[in-house]
Amino acid sequence: MKKKILIVGGGTAGTMTANNLAKKLMPEIDRGDVEITLISNSKYHYYRPGAMYVAFHKSEGHEFVREQRSLLMPEIEFIVDAAVEINTNRNFVKGQSGKRYEYDFMVLATGCEAAPERIPGLKEGGDWFYTYEGARKLAEKFQTIKNGRVLITVNFPKTPNIPHQCGIAPVETTIMLHDYLTEKGVRENVEIVYTYPTEAQSVHNGLFLQEPTSKVLPAIFDGMGIKHKTGFTLNKVDPNKKVAYSEEGEEMEFDILMSTPPFIASKVIRESGLSKALDGEGWLPTDRKTLKVKGLGNVYTLGDTVDLPVSKAGGTIHNQTDVVADNIASELRYGYPTESYDGLVIAIAQMGLSCGMPLWYDYEEDVQPTPCSKLGSFVRKGFNKGIYWAAARGMI
């Protein structure tokens, strides 16, 4: 009987995994033994890391969008239909259309979403670069600012040891803002204040979620005249007075509040009953090695919806997708998974408008800061605007 593989989600994780599965299982697909279906709530694929360039007028944003069908191998059936119900007892997903998609193996690659409404006043008084709409609003404000204060705040999930989306992004955008305002000739009139919450995964009263980077950031910020403050956990925002209040009892005025907002899993995951994460955040309980959803023998997950202590970013997904694809292929052929994920994350941080810093870490070793360079920035931008699309197609 033909085996059905269902991938839910058309972002980086879903697209790469679908293509990798199609390549690995081509003999079975050609024989008619396997079929792969990907469902997504949009016909378009958005490369989300590109949004930060929009915020600083370094991109219009259109170059980071493709039609989803164009990124998938022809052997993959692609359907635009938002998943609204997941039934792991009867092995089906129900779409908004009312159609049921049955599966033998399923990959949940539904990502996460910004939820600024979880902090009173943040939705009305803050800005963020994690969406293209939010980045465009920031771009308009950065274009006109001539003096005042830009306040950066970072928010972590309530569930312990879970990072926010793209852990390095607040640092990247803070330094990019410094460079951007310097280019405009107004940097000396604009105060930049970077704050970080008291608890950040395993780090207490630091400036980053891993100790080695947290220790080197003060010197980097001081060299650029960027003020920094630990122990500022955003609690609420007064959008009229333009004041941010912390759980620690402090308050800070701002002209622009550039915030990393709270993140939660997608609605269909939060309502699936599969998660036990705190505050209804919806992170899927994930086996750190096989990347299976715990307690489910035929459901895998990867990317931004997992509850693993690794970055919710593309540099993580690139190392997870092969594990998921290999394990599903092995289960179909041999009856058991064969690969193990070691927590590896590889990326290049955009440390300013023209400086890129390679970084990598895994479950056992924190990221080690390395020198940034113009070459690193060139590679990062080249990946974002070109190489990524080949990676999404499973070509590299």
Give the pLDDT of residue 67.
97
- The tokens for 287 are 């086996």
Predicted confidence at residue 90, as pLDDT, reads: 98
Q: Tell me, yes or no, whether 250 and 124 share the same domain.
A: yes
The residue to which tokens 């938002």 are assigned: 82
Tell me which of 263, 292, 312 is where a domain ends.
263
Q: What region does 186 belong to: left with phi over 0, alpha with psi -120 to 50, or beta?
A: alpha
132 in the same domain as 51: no
Residues 87 and 201 in one domain: no
Give the span between the Cα atoms of 157 and 199, in whole angstroms.
Answer: 10
Residues 221 and 274 in one domain: no
Residue 53's alpha-carbon distances to 112, 171, 192, 313, 380, in angstroms, are 20, 14, 18, 16, 12
CATH number, domain at 297? 3.50.50.60
pLDDT for 381 equals 86
Residue 22: closest CA among 83, 71, 67, 64: 71
- One digit per residue, pLDDT tens: the chain, 396 residues? 899 999 999 999 999 999 999 999 999 999 999 999 999 999 999 999 899 999 999 988 888 999 999 999 999 999 999 999 999 999 999 999 999 999 999 999 999 999 999 999 999 999 999 999 999 999 999 999 999 999 999 999 999 999 999 999 999 999 999 999 999 999 999 999 999 999 998 889 999 999 988 999 999 999 999 999 999 999 999 999 999 999 999 999 999 999 999 999 999 999 999 999 999 999 999 999 999 999 999 999 999 999 999 999 999 999 999 999 999 999 999 999 999 999 999 999 999 999 999 988 999 998 888 889 999 999 998 888 889 999 999 887
Residue 352 lies in a domain: no
List the beta bridge partners of residue 236. 245
Q: Which amino acid is at 264?
A: I
Q: Do 120 and 82 share a domain, yes or no?
A: no
Both 106 and 138 in one domain: the answer is no
Please give the pLDDT value at position 396.
79
Whether residues 107 and 121 share a domain: the answer is: no
Query: pTM for this structure?
Result: 0.95
- Domain match, 221 and 166 both: yes
- Domain span at residue 11? 3-111+266-345+387-392
Cα 359 from Cα 35, distance rounded (Å): 37
Residue 199's pLDDT is 93
SS3 annotation, the chain: CCEEEEEECCCHHHHHHHHHHHHHCHHHHHHCCEEEEEEECCCEEECHHHHHHHHCCCCCCHHHEEEHHHHCCCCEEEEECCEEEEECCCCEEEECCCCEEECCEEEECCCEEECHHHCCCHHHHCECCCCHHHHHHHHHHHHHCCCEEEEEEECCCCCCCCCCECCCHHHHHHHHHHHHHHHHCCHHHEEEEEECCCEECCEECCCCCCHHHHHHHHHHHHHHCCEEECCCCEEEEECCCCEEEECCCCEEECCEEEEECCEEECHHHHCCCCCCCHHHCCCECECCCCCEECCCCCEEECHHHECCCCCECHHHHHHHHHHHHHHHHHHHHHCCCCCCCCCCEEEEEECCCCCEEEEEECCCCCCCCCCCEHHHHHHHHHHHHHHHHHHHCCCC
Both 224 and 254 in one domain: the answer is yes
How many domains does the structure of the chain reveal? Answer: 2
Alpha-carbon distance 109 to 191, whole Å? 39
Q: Which of 229, 263, 297 is the last residue of a domain?
A: 263
